[in-house]
């Protein structure tokens, strides 16, 4: 069939036309906000006064952010949460994946599915669930702790009074960390299981012949083989952990909790923009956060770079 | 050091019997080859000796000590896998030294032993490389080196050359022979390739469906195959097996061929085996009539696939190259060398 010449698209432009839906969406929702926030970081702007109210202020916003106590506090909170929720994720997920890989056959998919469930559950549902679990007077966790108080010896280490998990500043961060850990450990298990399946069975047999015990095989064969996946998983945890927002936001009612103990940087810059109406400072902080994320990702890369020649 | 004795070894997976009773004694310093078609249980048996598979029944003795329940590393056996199974994240030196490291040998001594093994295999310059920086042949040498470093009582090879190209395979065969002479260690070598079996083995065990069909020196197997399975498995092109012609109504050529073949041996055979190189071409007027169905000229020899009236299978003859009248469709006369005829009874066993 002949297409009339007038309707034909020149071959030079056809490919661009075909990928244009992505490019347009990416430009509108990706590039523009990115560029705009960078622009905003050097302006002072109150959005309610309209676009014309913007004023160039140089690096004032950055200087303000770096002198802002709450910004530093939010960074510390974020770092604390990223480490306390991220590190155990991997320390648990790797042995757990190894165990599932070597011990389950038929039940395997069900077990993996159970661990993966929290990852695909809505954050709001999870926050509601944990709010009830952590509730001071009726929460299951406190009830459990109270019950353990009755046990001799073990009882000595248990709190005598119900713990105010989400109200007391010193308890907020551990509570959030537990939720985040619980939510993402299954995702990491799935990552590590996928990596474990790519390790050829015969190198374990060779190691058996070489006299390596199961523990030694884990240490000398499994772990090094998982290194690329550890790098990938830790990178995701670093990036995700430093941008932690939803869980603490919902659990602390969007304000960061008493004494800002649960206020992550992402929450703080959200509040800076939408509660305090300072979009310039919020943008500057988001770029500072980006720099932190970039540096930590680079450090992760350094730490887990595979030995030997690059593939 | 390095005697391996198998007594009534069996292996079953759930309901399938894979190894059906093997009795075999591998002598000290011997190069023993297990050969057989794919799926006959060679690898399974080797892995049972290694300790990678449990033994369902029977006894495995290494140097007279029952090894059924010994840990693989304690049996004094080292294995070379078909896939090489090198540790990808370790250098060649670390790969070779891994067993020593697991055994708690000190760093310095380890390096020394690895260095010595590397010398034997000429791996010196490769010690710092990673497996993916090596060619197939080099990887194979490293895998062998890893086995040597452990100073095992017996080496176990599972089709170690089948991932290499043809030219390299010949080189490695020579190298393995040299290694065996140099080390003098017992070797058990699994292959489905009869050329490897014939060239490497001091003795060969021919496997079929989980049992040993025949055990013997290469030429013994070639010249006196104990049954039609061994006769057919060893030798290329395949041995000719000629059925006894019917008592009445046999084709003239078939009858003539049979008469010629049985002139030297017992006449109660059901089948006669004759290797292709013992089926010669005869001058016109003599011999048995045949037609060439296909001629393969290999340069040094020609393989003729021949149709003889009354004989169901094509016969194969290995004849000199450049003979006249050797094209498909042409008629020739055959002269079998009855001295080499192998008589088999109705059950396929050689009549002695
Ligand atoms: N784990 C297993 N479960 C059931 N059957 C097996 C198992 N491993 C091997 N087999 C069977 O045992 C037979 C022998 O296998 P193998 O020893 O690998 O043969 P090969 O002589 O080719 O090395 C094959 O028919 C194979 O299907
Ligand atoms: Mg095999």
**A156-192, pLDDT tens digit by residue?**
777 777 888 888 888 899 999 999 999 999 999 999 9
Please report which confidence band the pLDDT of residue A104 belongs to, taking 50, 70 and 90 as the band edges: confident
Test mutation, B74, B90, B102, B104, chain A, max A CBs within 10 A: B102
- Domains in chain A (CATH in brackets) are 57-120+170-303 (1.10.3720.10)
**Closest chain A residue to B150, measured at CA:** A210
User: Using one digit for the tens of pLDDT, what is the confidence trace for B31-90?
Assistant: 999 999 999 999 999 999 999 999 999 999 999 999 999 999 999 999 999 999 999 999
B72 with A311: Cβ contact below 8 A: no
Q: How many CB pairs under 8 A join A and B?
A: 69
CA of B18 to the centre of ligand 1 (A): 7
CA of B80 to the centre of ligand 2 (A): 12
Number of C-beta neighbours around residue B191 at 10 A: 23
CA end-to-end span of chain B, whole Å? 36
Taking phi over 0 as left and psi of -120 to 50 as alpha, with beta for the rest, A46 belongs to beta
Test mutation, B85, B140, B147, chain A, max A CBs within 10 A: B85
**Is A152 an 8 Å CB contact of chain B?**
no
What is the mean predicted confidence (pLDDT) over B254-272?
A: 87
Q: For all residues of chain A together, what is the average pLDDT? A: 89
CB contacts, 8 Å: B98 with chain A:
207, 210, 212, 220
Bridge partners of B80, per DSSP, are B157
Q: Which residues surround ligand 2, an ion (CB under 5 A)?
A: B 43
Cα–Cα distance for residue pair A39/B198, rounded to 1 Å: 79
User: Using one digit for the tens of pLDDT, what is the confidence trace for B295-343?
Assistant: 999 999 999 999 999 999 999 999 988 787 788 999 999 999 999 999 9
Cα–Cα distance for residue pair A229/A237, rounded to 1 Å: 12
Q: Are strands B301-307 and B331-336 parallel, antiparallel or unpaired?
A: unpaired
DSSP assignments along B195-222, one per residue: HHHHHH-SEEEEEETTEEEEEE-HHHHH
- Where is average pLDDT lowest: B6-10, B195-199, B280-284? B280-284
| Closest atom of ligand 1 relative to the B158 alpha carbon | 23
**Ligand 1 site, residue B43, Cβ cutoff 6 A:** yes
**Between B346 and B326, where is the model more confident?**
B346
Q: Are strands B154-158 and B77-80 parallel, antiparallel or unpaired?
A: parallel
- Domains in chain B (CATH in brackets) are 4-233 (3.40.50.300), 241-344 (2.40.50.140)
Per-residue pLDDT at A263: 94
Per-residue pLDDT at A309: 54
Per-residue pLDDT at A6: 65
DSSP assignments along B120-131, one per residue: HTT-GGGTTS-G
| Closest atom of ligand 1 relative to the B42 alpha carbon | 21
Task: Give yes or no for residue A76 having a pLDDT over 50.
Answer: yes
B310 Cα distance to chain centroid: 34
**Ligand 1 site, residue B40, Cβ cutoff 6 A:** yes
CA of B41 to the centre of ligand 1 (A): 6
B88 with A225: Cβ contact below 8 A: yes
**Do residues B155 and B185 touch, judged by C-beta distance below 8 A?**
yes
**Closest chain B residue to A212, measured at CA:** B102
CA of B128 to the centre of ligand 1 (A): 37
Please report which confidence band the pLDDT of residue A310 belongs to, taking 50, 70 and 90 as the band edges: very low
Report the complex ipTM.
Answer: 0.88
Cα–Cα distance for residue pair A193/A186, rounded to 1 Å: 10
Cα–Cα distance for residue pair A241/A124, rounded to 1 Å: 18
User: Using one digit for the tens of pLDDT, what is the confidence trace for A243-270?
Assistant: 999 999 988 888 888 889 999 999 999 9
**Ligand 1 site, residue B246, Cβ cutoff 6 A:** no
Cα distance from B237 to chain A (closest Cα, Å)? 35
**Is B115 an 8 Å CB contact of chain A?**
no
Classify residue A84 by its DSSP letter.
H
CA of B17 to the centre of ligand 1 (A): 10
| Closest atom of ligand 1 relative to the B46 alpha carbon | 17
User: Using one digit for the tens of pLDDT, what is the confidence trace for A44-75?
Assistant: 988 888 888 888 999 999 999 999 999 999 99
Residues 177-216 of A with CB under 8 A from B: 200, 202-203, 205-212, 216
Cα distance from A228 to chain B (closest Cα, Å)? 11
Task: Give yes or no for residue B127 having a pLDDT over 70.
Answer: yes
**Closest chain B residue to A213, measured at CA:** B102
Residue B148: both structure tokens together: 């040597």
**Closest chain B residue to A216, measured at CA:** B102
Percentages of chain B per state (helix, strand, coil), in multiples of 5? 30, 30, 40
CA of B215 to the centre of ligand 1 (A): 22
**Do residues B185 and B150 touch, judged by C-beta distance below 8 A?**
no
What is the mean predicted confidence (pLDDT) over A222-227?
A: 93
Task: Give yes or no for residue A4 having a pLDDT over 70.
Answer: no
What is the mean predicted confidence (pLDDT) over A209-232?
A: 93
Test mutation, A210, A215, A217, chain B, max B CBs within 10 A: A210
Of B176, B178, B233, the C-alpha closest to B204 is: B233
Per-residue pLDDT at A311: 44
Task: Give yes or no for residue B136 having a pLDDT over 60.
Answer: yes
Closest ligand by atom to B11 CA: 1
Per-residue pLDDT at A150: 81
User: Using one digit for the tens of pLDDT, what is the confidence trace for A125-140?
Assistant: 998 888 889 888 888 8
Task: Give yes or no for residue B103 having a pLDDT over 80.
Answer: yes
């Amino acid at each position: 069939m002949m297409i009339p010449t007038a309707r034909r698209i020149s071959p030079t432009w056809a490919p661009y036309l075909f990928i244009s839906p992505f490019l347009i969406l990416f430009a509108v929702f990706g590039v523009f906000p990115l560029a705009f926030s960078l622009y905003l970081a050097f302006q002072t702007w109150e959005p309610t006064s309209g676009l014309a109210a913007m004023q160039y202020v140089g690096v004032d916003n950055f200087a303000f952010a770096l002198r802002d106590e709450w910004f530093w506090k939010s960074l510390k909170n974020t770092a604390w949460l990223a480490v306390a929720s991220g590190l155990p994720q991997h320390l648990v997920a790797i042995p757990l994946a190894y165990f599932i890989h070597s011990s389950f056959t038929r039940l395997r998919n069900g077990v993996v599915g159970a661990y993966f469930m929290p990852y695909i559950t809505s954050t709001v549902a999870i926050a509601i669930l944990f709010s009830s679990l952590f509730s001071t007077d009726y929460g299951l966790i406190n009830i459990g702790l109270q019950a353990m108080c009755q046990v001799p010896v073990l009882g000595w280490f248990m709190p005598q009074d119900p713990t105010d998990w989400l109200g007391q500043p010193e308890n907020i961060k551990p509570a959030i960390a537990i939720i985040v850990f619980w939510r993402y450990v299954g995702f990491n298990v799935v990552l590590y299981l996928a990596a474990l399946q790519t390790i050829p069975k015969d190198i374990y047999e060779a190691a058996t012949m070489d006299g390596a015990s199961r523990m030694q095989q884990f240490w000398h064969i499994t772990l090094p083989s998982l290194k690329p996946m550890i790098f990938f998983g830790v990178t995701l945890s670093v990036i995700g952990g430093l941008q932690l927002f939803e869980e603490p936001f919902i659990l602390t009612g969007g304000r960061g909790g008493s004494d800002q103990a649960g206020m992550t940087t992402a929450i703080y810059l959200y509040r800076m923009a939408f509660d305090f109406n300072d979009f310039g400072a919020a943008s500057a902080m988001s770029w500072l956060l980006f720099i932190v994320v970039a540096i930590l990702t680079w450090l992760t890369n350094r730490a887990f770079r595979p030995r030997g020649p690059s593939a | 050091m390095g005697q391996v004795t198998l007594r009534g070894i069996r292996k079953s997976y759930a309901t399938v019997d894979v190894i059906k009773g093997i009795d075999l004694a591998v002598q000290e310093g011997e190069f023993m080859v297990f050969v057989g078609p794919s799926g006959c249980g060679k690898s399974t048996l080797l892995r049972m000796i290694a300790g990678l598979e449990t033994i369902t029944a029977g006894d495995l003795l290494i140097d007279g000590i029952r090894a059924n329940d010994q840990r693989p590393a304690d049996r004094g056996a080292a294995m070379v896998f078909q896939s090489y199974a090198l540790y990808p994240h370790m250098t060649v030196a670390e790969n070779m030294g891994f067993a020593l490291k697991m055994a708690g040998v000190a760093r310095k001594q380890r390096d020394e032993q690895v260095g010595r093994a590397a010398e034997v295999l000429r791996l010196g310059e490769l010690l710092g490389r990673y497996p993916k920086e090596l060619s197939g042949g080099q990887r194979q040498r490293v895998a062998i080196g890893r086995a040597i470093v452990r100073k095992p009582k017996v080496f176990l090879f599972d089709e170690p050359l089948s991932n290499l190209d043809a030219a390299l395979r010949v080189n490695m065969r020579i190298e393995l022979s040299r290694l065996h002479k140099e080390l003098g260690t017992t070797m058990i070598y699994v292959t489905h390739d009869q050329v490897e079996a014939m060239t490497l083995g001091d003795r060969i065990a021919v496997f079929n469906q989980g049992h040993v069909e025949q055990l013997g020196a290469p030429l013994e197997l070639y010249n006196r195959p104990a049954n039609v399975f061994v006769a057919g498995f060893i030798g290329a092109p395949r041995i000719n097996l000629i059925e006894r012609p019917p008592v009445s109504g046999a084709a003239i050529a078939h009858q003539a061929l049979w008469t010629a073949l049985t002139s030297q041996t017992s006449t109660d055979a059901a089948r006669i085996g004759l290797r292709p190189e013992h089926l010669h071409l005869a001058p016109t007027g003599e011999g048995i009539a045949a037609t060439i169905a296909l001629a393969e000229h290999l340069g040094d020899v020609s393989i003729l696939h021949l149709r003889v009236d009354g004989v169901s299978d094509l016969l194969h003859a290995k004849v000199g190259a450049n003979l006249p009248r050797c094209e498909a469709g042409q008629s020739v006369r055959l002269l079998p060398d009855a001295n080499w005829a192998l008589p088999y009874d109705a059950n396929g066993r050689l009549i002695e």
